[in-house]
Structures are given as structure tokens and as C-alpha cells.
Amino acid sequence: MPSNSTGITDEHANTPDWIELHNTSSEIVSMKGFSLSNKIKEPYLFTFPDNATISANGYLNILNGDSLFEAYIANSSFYYSTIIDKGASFRYLLPDTEPNEWWKTIQFADTSWLTGISGFGFEDNDDATILPQTSSVYLRKEFIIESVEAVKELLLHIDYDDGFVAYINGIEIARAGFEIGYTPLFTDFATGHEAVMYNGGLPSVFIVPNFAEILVTGKNVLSLQVHNTSLNSSDLTAIPFLTLGFIDEPVNMPPLSPLLPLKNRQTKSNQKFYFGIDAESDTIYLFKDKILIDKIIINEIPTDISIGRLNSNTDTAFYFSVPTPASANKEPIFPSKTLPSPDFSHNGGVYKTSFQVSISTKEFGSVVRYTTNGTDPDENSEIAVYPITVGKNMCIKAKVFKDGYLPSSVKTESYIFIKGTLKMPVISLTAKHEDFFDYYTGIYELGQCRSRTTKFWCKFLARLGKTYSYRNV
């Protein structure tokens, strides 16, 4: 997939472009000596690690990473085990003085603390252990790790209201609602965050870095301090999850929690991509010891559409509107041809008088559909049969549709009417309404990571699993 925005994710929860190889044989295939490139005369732009393999009838995904073109080898058999789930039993404390400084370590004796079932809090109808109105609650949950070496990933998911700091074996692993660099006192208040699971949302995720230096084989402890925004706050929520990732299927371990939206994830190789995948025009070559084995041609592929082959058809490439990384390609399928975008009789710009715009296409057997309300056209939009009268500010979006094919990309023209003489350039930007005003992704919304002093879009931090001070962004 040369233009991925919503599908497979890497270890930072980004959505890199990807290439997939399928082993059609009943034998394990070693990737030693294999390489990928987009230049026929430079076969070694990406070489596979000597120990990379594809299982019998299996799949291998190579993800084009960040700006350094780091490559990720996606293992199709990556297993998760949620060892602390909603409903787990915790020790908890409602403090009236500052807790013992050792409270978050495994050596601390918590026998005097209360016992309760996760989640914790009050109001919102998401609490198994209902707490009285409080500024903070402290939680501890011990867990066993059979082998630290077997653990390949550690994830903390948490639905919270309003802020928290989390620790494993006394070492901080995540925080939200507090600036970094200090340990909040039990009387401190968080900046604010609304719980979402009670309303159908998903818990926030924090990927724990350097977990192998934090976990120990044997007994460990997850500790959290959860804080409200004020003594008079109307609600409080703490529902933590702790999940381990394994390459080999674990034995006698709890399953992945059905409340978590995890997919197969990827382990980073030490290899580098020395080329990017160009969705407009490119060819990806597969070599074995410099000998060309296979290739696939890319030509103006839309975002989130993959190109590949179907089952035993090894000669014909198709577009797939529902990509299936790490599994077999499946219908619906479309010819690997991108329809040309439509032609407008008038370019967008600044006009003084009204006129008529015609929208057309040279693609035989197709129609052009358009909108004037800012939305992208779909199969139910108006067909551009007659010219459109433009006498006021108007944004026209159009697509070409043809039975059996994916529609073309959207072409947009904006027509602006301004009285008088222009004294400065005019720039027209077209964007989706939700890109500005959606609660979770809009750049003009405070959103779930809001602070009282700063307005900014923080989703990029959440996707990276960062715990930076939001006021210092």
C-alpha cells in the first residue's frame, strides 16, 4: 500500500506505507539474499535480515517508517496477553496525608490498603468500585512475569478522568494531566480529561519504552496515582489495562482484552529503506541475489487502496478497497487502473462576474458527479450533465465514476467573488469540517488532551505514546 493513512500501524501507532510478501509454498522460506528496490539497476536499496523468514503459506509485511526510512518487519504471528484487565482486583488508598515514599515499589506492604475491583471512581456509571468525592486515589496491582526476555512489547491502556501518573516497580511509565519533572502531591489537581469508555470510546494507550529494564522475572507491581481537577469535580475514573506482546504464543496466559483495539503489531529490524514508495508512479522490484524475481507497477493509487494479486492469479494486479495485511487478499476487487480526474472549463480563482462551469471526462462509459457543499462526491451525488452557474463564492468538488472501477481522485476548484481592487494575494484552502472542529482531531478544538492555558492539537503526541508537558509543545 503506497499511501496508508488508516490501516496497519507501526510500534509508534503511526500509519506507514507497506509492502507485503506472500509465501505460497508449504515450506518456510528464508529471506537471506532477498532485497527490494524501486530502481532496476540498484537491487539492494533494502535488504532483508539474514534471519528473516516467511512461514509456510504465510505473510511478511515491510513497513516504510519515519523520515529516516526505517523499516519494520511485521510478524504475522504476534500475540497479546492482557494481564491486568477491567475487573481486576487492586489495592487502593484514599489519602488524607502524603503516602509512604515507597508506596509504588514492590517492597511496599499494602495490606492496610482497601481492596476493590477496577474501574474506580464515581459518576459516569463506569465504576465497579465507587469512591467518595476525592482529590486523588492511589492504586496498586501486583503481577507475575515468567520471562522478561519473552516479552517484546508492553502497553498501558487507561481510561481516566482527570489525570494520572503510572509506575511499574517504582519507575514512571506514563502520565497525563501533569507537567513532567515532578511527582504530584496527593492534594494536587490535574488539568482535566474526560473518560470515554462509558460513552463507547477507547482507552488511551501508552507504549512503555525500555520495559526490559523495568520488568523483572517474577513479581512486579503496577502503581497509579489518579487525580481530579478539583474537590468539587463531578466525576472521577480510573480503568487501567496492562498488556504484554509476544512473538511466540504464550502458554497459560490470559487472552487479549476484548475492550482493547489492538491489531498485529511490528518489531523493528535494523535495516533501512533507501527509497520511498511513490503512490503517483513507481515500480517495486523483488530480487534474489541480484536476480529479478517479481515486480509490481504503481500508478496513481488512491490513499488506503492496496494493489496486489488475488489467490492463484499471479499475472494480474488488482486494486483492493479493503486491504488485508498479513492475510489473503479478498474481494471486492477492481482493475488496477486509476480513472483520470475530471476536467473543469474554468480554473478556480477570483472573478468579478458570473459564468457557467462545465465539468467533463474523456473516460468512456463514465460519469462525473459533483458537490457544492464542501463534501466529497459519492455515487449518490449530482451528475454533471449541464453547466453550473457560478455567481457567488463556491467550492465545487468532482469525481469520475465508472462501473467496476474505483472512482477517480477528487478535483476541487474554488471560485471567489470580491468587490473592489485586490491589494494582496488571495489563497484558498479547502479542508474537511472535522479537520478543524472534530473533538479528537480538529485543530481548533481543545480535545481530550486540553490544558487550561494552551490550545493545540495533541493527537500527534498521543499517537507517539509521548508524555511530554503539553504546555511546552
Q: pLDDT, tens digit, for every residue of 7-49? A: 776 656 677 888 888 888 888 888 889 999 999 999 988 888 7
Beta strand residue intervals within 26-185, DSSP E: 29-30, 34-37, 46-47, 53-54, 59-64, 70-75, 79-84, 89-93, 114-117, 120-122, 129-130, 136-145, 153-161, 163-168, 171-176
Cell 449518490 belongs to 380
Domains, the chain, ranges and CATH? 18-75+268-335 (2.60.40), 81-246 (2.60.120.260), 343-417 (2.60.40), 433-472 (no CATH)
> What are 405-456's pLDDT values in tens digits?
999 989 999 999 988 887 888 888 887 777 787 766 777 776 655 544 444 4
β-strand pairing of 171-176 with 79-84: unpaired
Instruction: Choose between 67 and 379: higher pLDDT.
Output: 379
Please tell me the distance from the alpha carbon of residue 305 to that of residue 302, in angstroms, as a whole number.
Answer: 6
Instruction: State the cell numbers at 410.
Output: 477528487
- Helix H or strand E segment including 289: none
pLDDT band at 312 (very low <50, low <70, confident <90, very high): low
57 Ramachandran zone, left/alpha/beta (phi>0; psi -120 to 50): left
> What are 106-116's pLDDT values in tens digits?
999 999 999 99
Mean pLDDT of the chain: 84
When mean pLDDT is compared across 17-26, 136-145, 231-240, 285-294, the lowest value belongs to: 17-26
For the chain, what is the total number of helices (H) and then of strands (E)?
2, 34
| CA angle (424, 425, 428) in 5-degree steps | 135
Neighbours of 230 (CB within 10 A): 11
Do residues 230 and 69 make contact, with C-beta atoms less than 8 angstroms apart?
no
